[in-house]
Amino acid sequence: MTDFPGVFTHPAGELSNGAVLDIGLKCPHSCAFCYYSFLDGGTDQFAGLRKASLRSTADCLEIVRLLAENGLTHLDITGGEPTTHPGLADIVRAASGLGLGVRVITLGQFLLRKHAGGTLLEALLGAGLTDLLFSLHAANPDSFRAICGGSLENVLAALDRLDERGFQYGSNTVITEKNLLQLPDIARLAAGRGVYTANFIAFNAYHAWRGQDQAKLLQTSYAAIRPRLEEAVGILAAANAAVNIRYVPLCAFPKLARHVVGVLGVPYDPYEWRNRCLNHDREPAYCAEPLPIPASGVRDIFAFTPLDETLQGGTRVCGMRGDRFKFFPAQCADCPAKSACDGVDPTYLARYGADEFQPLDRPTQGPLLAARLAYLPPHLVKMRPEADMRGAIGHGANGRDAALAARD
Ligand code: SF4
Ligand code: SF4
């Protein structure tokens, strides 16, 4: 712990002790970019989510117990939409009782609904909830509704309640063509509220999106994102919030490289998950087991394989990660950061080509940039509801951060 009660400093470069409880994919929302779109193999984007099931409360409690037994220290509860699970408050209470930090990931639509004589939010806070991670995909109500079918007013009303209590929380923003221009406004909204950690997630055509024409309408170019994201990160950093950028090549935003966490870096990100998710049909012991990470830090499914071929679309590549999961354009061959880089998404290469990618002359340590390891704000973990995360970031992390940045 730090001088700030309830703030744990995760040793940079060590494996995460974070976990996930996946309560099932049932979801009433309609996020345009949802990775579980077309879940049932049909053409109705959200039909599968509506029909999906929720795990039983008994199963969820057993997974929580096993996560603690396996030495994991904090967990995210995700779905689907976890606030629709009838046992959520009991699950939070059980996790908190075992000493686990417990965070709920939500679109924030149902937190002020009536629940057991109060609101669901009050019930969760009373059960010991440590943290919330809100989906903040737009900065104005019309865009929010257009992107995910939800009400920004509902989210803001819940944030009001949390801000009154001094309860700090995080935000997730999936970057698509639909909210690209709003990134600085989203950052201003988060900075003006109690957000202490903000995740910007570039849309990738994973899962059922691969090969879908609709993916092309969502995926925006890194060149277009870059100036808006640089502005957004500046706004959040000034508010003492940590910022993470997910699943892009390390040179996509050269000035923001320390904020980037790809699939290679995920096991070392303290808020990321070491156990298996998306196994609703498997027994609790399987779901709660931490995945082994080899000494190299790179799981076999993401191993680098040299290649010499030209992809459909004309990009010449010198290597790939996994089984054609990501590719390395020819100019990556001598890149000093290659061992820490995911490479480039094939759908992205087919649409935008590879001209913007340039070798990044930054030192690496295992599958991470040294600059990421020296960036302390994302290594501070909220373990208690009242923890002053922004205070901790402003007190220690930004000062050291600035000194290290000056040396870069
Ligand atoms: S809340 Fe999550 S599961 Fe539901 S539609 Fe949105 S992204 Fe998909
Ligand atoms: S040049 Fe290639 S290997 Fe280097 S950071 Fe960019 S995409 Fe990654």
Q: From the CA of 358, which ligand is nearest?
A: 2
Taking the CA of residue 328 as reference, the ligand 2 atom at the shortest distance is 2
**Count of the separate structural domains present in the chain:** 2
The range of the structural domain enclosing residue 304 comes to 300-359
| Res. 403: pLDDT tops 70 | no
Ligand 1 center from residue 325 Cα (angstroms): 23
Structural domain contains residue 181: yes
Ligand 1 close to Cβ of residue 107 (< 6 A): yes
Taking the CA of residue 37 as reference, the ligand 1 atom at the shortest distance is 8
Provide, for the chain, the percentages of residues in helix, strand and coil under a 3-state DSSP scheme, each rounded to the nearest 5. Answer: 40, 20, 45
User: Whose C-alpha lies nearest to ligand 2, atom 3?
Assistant: 338
Residue 118, SS3? strand
In this prediction, residue 88 carries a pLDDT of 98
| Res. 57: pLDDT tops 70 | yes
Ligand 2 close to Cβ of residue 341 (< 6 A): yes
* Structure token digits, residue 376: 């302390």
| Test site for ligand 1: of 27, 133, 201, most ligand atoms within 8 A of the Cβ | 27
Taking the CA of residue 357 as reference, the ligand 2 atom at the shortest distance is 6
Q: Euclidean distance between the first and final Cα of the chain, in Å?
A: 28
Ligand 2 close to Cβ of residue 332 (< 6 A): yes
CATH code of the domain in which 89 resides: 3.20.20.70
Structural element, H or E, at residue 200: strand 195-202
Name the E strands within 311-353.
316-321, 326-329
| Res. 215: pLDDT tops 80 | no
Of the chain, the percentage scoring pLDDT greater than 70 comes to 94
Q: Is residue 183 located within the same domain as residue 60?
A: yes
Judged by average pLDDT, the poorest of 151-155, 172-176, 214-218 is 214-218
Q: Is residue 55 located within the same domain as residue 118?
A: yes
Instruction: Specify the residue for token string 């939070």.
Output: 92
Q: From the CA of 337, which ligand is nearest?
A: 2
In this prediction, residue 43 carries a pLDDT of 86
Q: Is residue 181 located within the same domain as residue 272?
A: yes
Structural domain contains residue 364: no
Q: Residue 396: which pLDDT band, with cuts at 50, 70 and 90?
A: confident
Q: Letter for the amino acid at 165?
A: R
Which residues face 103 on adjacent strands? Answer: 76, 131
Ligand 1 close to Cβ of residue 201 (< 6 A): no
Q: Is residue 35 located within the same domain as residue 163?
A: yes
Taking the CA of residue 135 as reference, the ligand 1 atom at the shortest distance is 1
Ligand 2 center from residue 104 Cα (angstroms): 34
Q: Is residue 117 located within the same domain as residue 225?
A: yes
In this prediction, residue 406 carries a pLDDT of 35
pLDDT tens-digit profile of 117-170? 999 999 999 999 999 999 999 999 999 999 999 999 999 999 999 999 999 999
Q: Is residue 386 located within the same domain as residue 351?
A: no
Ligand 1 close to Cβ of residue 124 (< 6 A): no
Region 170-190: mean pLDDT is 97
Region 246-253: mean pLDDT is 96
Q: Is residue 114 located within the same domain as residue 190?
A: yes
Q: Is residue 307 located within the same domain as residue 178?
A: no
Q: Residue 38: which pLDDT band, with cuts at 50, 70 and 90?
A: confident
Q: Is residue 184 located within the same domain as residue 309?
A: no
Taking the CA of residue 252 as reference, the ligand 2 atom at the shortest distance is 6
Ligand 1 center from residue 273 Cα (angstroms): 18
Q: Is residue 195 located within the same domain as residue 330?
A: no
Ligand 1 close to Cβ of residue 132 (< 6 A): no
Average pLDDT, rounded, for the chain: 93
User: Whose C-alpha lies nearest to ligand 1, atom 8?
Assistant: 34
Cα dihedral 314, 316, 321, 323 sign: positive
Structural domain contains residue 39: yes
In this prediction, residue 63 carries a pLDDT of 98
Ligand 1 close to Cβ of residue 147 (< 6 A): no
Taking the CA of residue 80 as reference, the ligand 1 atom at the shortest distance is 3
Q: Is residue 62 located within the same domain as residue 164?
A: yes
User: Whose C-alpha lies nearest to ligand 2, atom 2?
Assistant: 332
pLDDT tens-digit profile of 286-330? 999 999 999 888 999 999 999 999 998 899 999 999 999 999 999
Structural domain contains residue 193: yes
Q: From the CA of 27, which ligand is nearest?
A: 1
> How far is the C-alpha of 120 from the C-alpha of 131, rounded, in Å?
14
Structural domain contains residue 1: no
This prediction has a pTM of 0.94
Structural domain contains residue 2: no
Q: Is residue 313 located within the same domain as residue 175?
A: no
For residue 82, what are the CA distances in angstroms to 5, 25, 27, 106, 225?
28, 9, 8, 7, 30
Q: From the CA of 278, which ligand is nearest?
A: 1
Backbone angles phi, psi at 44, to 5 degrees: -80, 115
**DSSP track, 133-162:** EEE---SSHHHHHHHHSS-HHHHHHHHHHH
Structural domain contains residue 271: yes
Structural domain contains residue 69: yes
Q: From the CA of 320, which ligand is nearest?
A: 2
Indicate the DSSP class of residue 275.
B
Q: Residue 209: which pLDDT band, with cuts at 50, 70 and 90?
A: low
